[in-house]
Structure 1
Amino acid sequence: MKKIVLVLTVISLVLSSCKSDDKKAKAAKPNVLFIAVDDLNNWISPIQNFSNVKTPNFHRLAKMGVTFTNAHVQAPLCGPSRASLMTGLRPSTTGIYGMTPDNKIRRAGNKATNDITFLPEYFEQNGYHTMGIGKLFHIHAPDSVFNESGGRVRGFGPYPKKRFVWDGFGTSKSKKEKYGRTSTDWGAFPEKDSLMPDHQSVNWVTERLHKDYDKPFFMGLGFLRVHVPLYVPQKWFDLYPLEDIQTPPYKSDDLNDIPPVGMQINDLPMMPSTEWAKESGEWKKIVQAYLACISYVDYELGRVLDALENSKYADNTVIVLWSDHGYRLGEKGTFAKHALWETATKAPLLFAGPDLPKGKKIDAPVEMLSIYPTLLELSGLPAYQRNEGYSLVDMMQQDKGLAEAKAITTFGMNNHAIKMNGYRYIQYEDGKEEFYDHNSDPNEWNNEAGNPKYKAQIEKMKGFLPKVNSKWDASSNYTFQPYFVEQKARVNGK
């Protein structure tokens, strides 16, 4: 009898130990803080430090981990860019080239997405409590993607009763049926930071960072700024006296060597033109407003980092911060994203976490498509086989893959840009090309596609063009710009 009791006691202790080990293993999984910043280009201090921008908290995050100075989006437009990141699939695979309602990204009529697992869902399926607030997908998120949702304030306000400068139509007033109205405008508004939706989102995140959870969490935070209208309180404008403002490089005849499709894509009369901004004296004011918005977001980022630092999760949380595309502030003749050129496709990407180097910069081109698989590996989760991107963990930890790194951006069906080895190659749907050597032409002013000197490099880069170019998804549209309306109708046979 004593032997039986002894055996049972040993078994009980072993089982208890196993349960304890299981709990420790579960507790060891890192939390994830997933931060999206809308329309943020690379002007922040850890990357370009343009016009002496004041971003101490972006710098603080950069010192905590790894900064990719040459990261590129999969589409230079928020809807398809975010859909690509959240599905792990390229726009050319899904046909999501335009704006798609959050609840229609995954639908029965799309073979690529009908059974896809969104990034936050994958974490939930692997034992995470998921939360999200703000702009994460195009609007906020599909229904039930998060266990806990803070939603999203509609639009990009707050708005003054009357626009300060730009009416949102520009020179397209006589063609309103062809071009959409934008919320492009700039000025000091409202009076206090607390009136900004992003401030309220950070309050929501801060509250949850001080709660207890019985499992690791995935927390998504989507900032609305620096998306237009470029409104933030006056104190952020005060950081940037107009006389000290720099403007980006600009060449008035820059577009003379651009193929017709590229010019059609760049037909944006609803946006301010650089020539108008120069003549009206507004260029420095627009840049000032954009810088002010960056510094405002930097302040809110600092509040998030403070909350994390003062929580029990400080030492076991992976952070990723990214933007859905770059933004042109006068480069290539306008103030917009909407292009396959460098200033539209390039955006910040920063990672920090327990197993990552601190204060490291990587200049090799990478894709936002890599965020999904990278977060899985950093969290010790199994790879998701549907992901078309690759994890950046080996690159961050061991510098692997730097020489062969590349990034592909797509804008509409069969229009692609490839960035690699200091070159940018663009091919449009009709086969017309652009090619830029960033070693001698960082501003992409000289299209060298016809230069025999680069023939071998161009042929090499052509080999990386997507082999699949799906038709437009039925639920995906971009009605602001006639080219995309026409292309969808043409290629889909409607």
Structure 2
Amino acid sequence: MFNKNKFLPFNSLCAFILLITLVGCQNVKKNKQQKPNILFLFTDDQRAGAIGALNVYDVKTPNMDKLVDNGTTFTNAYILGATTAAVCSPSRAMLMTGRHYFNIEPNVYAQFAFPLEERGKSDLLTFPEYFRANGYTTFATGKQHNGKDWVERGFKHVKSAFLGGMTTHFGTKVKDYSAETGWSKPYQQKEKFSSEVFADAAIGFLESYKGENPFLMYVAFTAPHDPRTAPQEFHDQYPVNEIELPKNFMPEHPFNIADDRIRDEVLAPFPRTEAIIKKEISDYYAMITATDAQIGRVLKALKDSGQEKNTIIVLAGDNGLAVGQHGLLGKQNVYEHSVGIPLVICGPDVPKNVKTEALAYLHDVFPTLCGLTGLEIPKSVQTIDLTPVIKGEKQEVRNSMMYAYNSWPGDMLVKRRKHNPGGGHRAVRKGDYKLIISAKHDVFTYQLFDVKKDPWELINLIDDEDYADLKEDLKIELKKLIKQAGDTADLDKKEFGLFDDLEAFRFN
């Protein structure tokens, strides 16, 4: 028999349904707010250890130091390498896709070699595009070095974007973009340092953002890349006569290597003098400190927005730089100073003031951001989620890694190339040891370093009989990693066989 006492009166029932609906809406809104934001701070040519808190170089970075104090720092973070002297372009392509550059279209990372209409064309999934598809409002400012397509697909808001590899730091030509209006005409602010221009754009986004969805901010500075022209107040902080030379300072590199006369290397004459290198280091540090000041402004704006505690912050660099080490200035090699990068991650549930020696690639960032935000890692990603290391569940996610660099094969087709193209390096790190195999024309050079005891890579153990077995083991490991990565290098061929089919690099 029907019992009306078991049921709410109609008016009460309506009120109850309304209450449940409101609570549900509030929970949906709360869940959206609980999804962590992402702030990616990206520097250009900042090498590993070039943060004051890491006590490697005497550089002043109070704001980066705070990130180190408040997060987890990977002290063995690296890039995989490059197949063009413009190392930052392959590096950024790998970061964006989570893929090794061997498996990314060269028209994305070597655009100089392709017709204008082909540059940057790629269907590969990027992490901004993926997070945007999963409800994130995406924003970009600063250097975009892989063409327009990925920028347009990945970012809803683009302000003060620099489309290119390098430029002046005062009067940087930038553009804005939105799907509704397309790309703006180029404009420039000649009175402002580039890092300030990009920080202004990031701060503007934070101050105006009212959306309920989480945001992903990609703030890519063009510093400390040369020309090293910071505001004078920062140069004044590094008197040249007080600069210490690195322990591995050399007037010239001890043997011929790939691209040892590329643009980066002829910024100073040969042989290098102590005075010139001290000036280069002074200017380099000034650029880092000037950019650190702008990072501080962005971090303050994040705090003022009320979003700081719910934001994952990643600080990273796109590659390192020699600046006088091993007789080199640039990054076209696989020494620690050039493949090593800063990588610091802060945020909700990320342990503070932790330094881990786990081996990490820059392009691990894509899967790691997925791990930290609970998103499934796309099948296109080839690198590894570092979240288990960050959370203390694992000591490492890999026990070895490879590094690679070689001249752009197309340069071999250009007559009278001043930098004597050809040659390359392949290297492997396992445990404390690192094997480098360099090939230049008909000459192979082997170097074996204990990078734990000898971080400056000065003591070559390759001829020590006690390490003969280790050399062979590392070479076997390197061959395995080369195959896994999709690299076509053959360590037993002249210049690794990378220049055997040059016609494949002749573009009409």
Name the TM-score, length of structure 1 as normaliser. Answer: 0.79
Distance of 2:224 and 2:249 partners within structure 1: 25
Counterpart residue type for residue 271 of structure 1 = V
| Corresponding position of 1:466 | 482
1:157 corresponds, among 157, 168, 178, to 168
Segment of structure 1 superposing worse, 28-37 or 423-432: 423-432
| Corresponding position of 1:82 | 92
Q: Secondary structure at the match of 1:382?
A: coil
Q: How does 1:2-401 map to 2 (within 5 A)?
A: 5=10, 13-41=19-47, 42-50=49-57, 52-75=58-81, 77-94=87-104, 96=106, 99-101=109-111, 114-138=122-146, 142-153=151-162, 155-158=166-169, 195-211=192-208, 212-250=210-248, 252=250, 255-256=253-254, 263-268=257-262, 270-272=265-267, 275-278=270-273, 281-398=275-392, 400-401=394-395
- RMSD between superposed Cα atoms in Å: 3.5
Distance of 2:503 and 2:426 partners within structure 1: 16
Q: Secondary structure at the match of 1:27?
A: helix
Closer/same/farther in 2, CA of residues 491 and 21 from structure 1, 3 Å limit: farther
Structure 1 gaps, min length 5:
161-191, 473-482
Structure 1 residues 229-283: Cα deviation after superposition (integer angstroms, max 9, x where no partner):
0001211111112221111123648844x5x6xx13434375245754417x322
| Corresponding position of 2:176 | none
> Displacement, 1:342?
1.0
Distance of 1:291 and 1:346 partners within structure 2: 17
> Displacement, 1:8?
6.3
Identity %: 26
> Displacement, 1:331?
0.9
Counterpart residue type for residue 492 of structure 1 = A
User: Residue 320 of structure 1 contacts residue 349 of structure 1 at CA under 8 Å; is this kept in 2?
Assistant: yes
Closer/same/farther in 2, CA of residues 45 and 252 from structure 1, 3 Å limit: closer
Distance of 2:29 and 2:296 partners within structure 1: 32
Q: Secondary structure at the match of 1:398?
A: coil
Distance of 2:197 and 2:157 partners within structure 1: 16
Counterpart residue type for residue 226 of structure 1 = P
> Displacement, 1:159?
5.9
Closer/same/farther in 2, CA of residues 439 and 491 from structure 1, 3 Å limit: farther
Q: Secondary structure at the match of 1:230?
A: coil
Distance of 1:295 and 1:488 partners within structure 2: 45
Closer/same/farther in 2, CA of residues 229 and 434 from structure 1, 3 Å limit: same
Distance of 2:140 and 2:70 partners within structure 1: 23
User: Residue 435 of structure 1 contacts residue 448 of structure 1 at CA under 8 Å; is this kept in 2?
Assistant: yes
| Corresponding position of 1:175 | none
Distance of 1:291 and 1:3 partners within structure 2: 72
User: Residue 108 of structure 2 contacts residue 146 of structure 2 at CA under 8 Å; is this kept in 1?
Assistant: no
Distance of 1:285 and 1:229 partners within structure 2: 13
Closer/same/farther in 2, CA of residues 193 and 376 from structure 1, 3 Å limit: farther
Name the TM-score, length of structure 2 as normaliser. Answer: 0.77
Counterpart residue type for residue 44 of structure 1 = I
User: Residue 471 of structure 1 contacts residue 492 of structure 1 at CA under 8 Å; is this kept in 2?
Assistant: no
Closer/same/farther in 2, CA of residues 433 and 4 from structure 1, 3 Å limit: farther
Structure 2 gaps, min length 5:
172-188, 410-423, 490-494
> Displacement, 1:213?
1.2
| Corresponding position of 1:475 | none
Distance of 2:364 and 2:471 partners within structure 1: 24
User: Residue 249 of structure 2 contacts residue 324 of structure 2 at CA under 8 Å; is this kept in 1?
Assistant: no
Distance of 1:12 and 1:159 partners within structure 2: 58
User: Residue 92 of structure 1 contacts residue 466 of structure 1 at CA under 8 Å; is this kept in 2?
Assistant: no
Structure 1 residues 435-457: Cα deviation after superposition (integer angstroms, max 9, x where no partner):
21224432223443454433443
Closer/same/farther in 2, CA of residues 405 and 96 from structure 1, 3 Å limit: farther
Q: Secondary structure at the match of 2:224?
A: coil
User: Residue 57 of structure 1 contacts residue 302 of structure 1 at CA under 8 Å; is this kept in 2?
Assistant: yes
Q: Secondary structure at the match of 1:223?
A: strand
Distance of 1:336 and 1:97 partners within structure 2: 23
User: Residue 120 of structure 1 contacts residue 130 of structure 1 at CA under 8 Å; is this kept in 2?
Assistant: yes
Distance of 2:101 and 2:338 partners within structure 1: 16
1:441 corresponds, among 432, 454, 458, to 454
Closer/same/farther in 2, CA of residues 95 and 453 from structure 1, 3 Å limit: farther
Closer/same/farther in 2, CA of residues 399 and 241 from structure 1, 3 Å limit: farther
Total equivalences in the alignment: 442
Distance of 2:235 and 2:251 partners within structure 1: 32
Distance of 2:500 and 2:266 partners within structure 1: 23
Segment of structure 1 superposing worse, 122-131 or 380-389: 380-389
> Displacement, 1:88?
0.7
> Displacement, 1:127?
0.4
Counterpart residue type for residue 85 of structure 1 = L
Counterpart residue type for residue 58 of structure 1 = M
Q: Secondary structure at the match of 2:378?
A: coil
> Displacement, 1:411?
1.8
User: Residue 38 of structure 1 contacts residue 227 of structure 1 at CA under 8 Å; is this kept in 2?
Assistant: yes
Counterpart residue type for residue 26 of structure 1 = K
Distance of 1:207 and 1:95 partners within structure 2: 34
Closer/same/farther in 2, CA of residues 446 and 265 from structure 1, 3 Å limit: farther
Distance of 1:453 and 1:148 partners within structure 2: 58
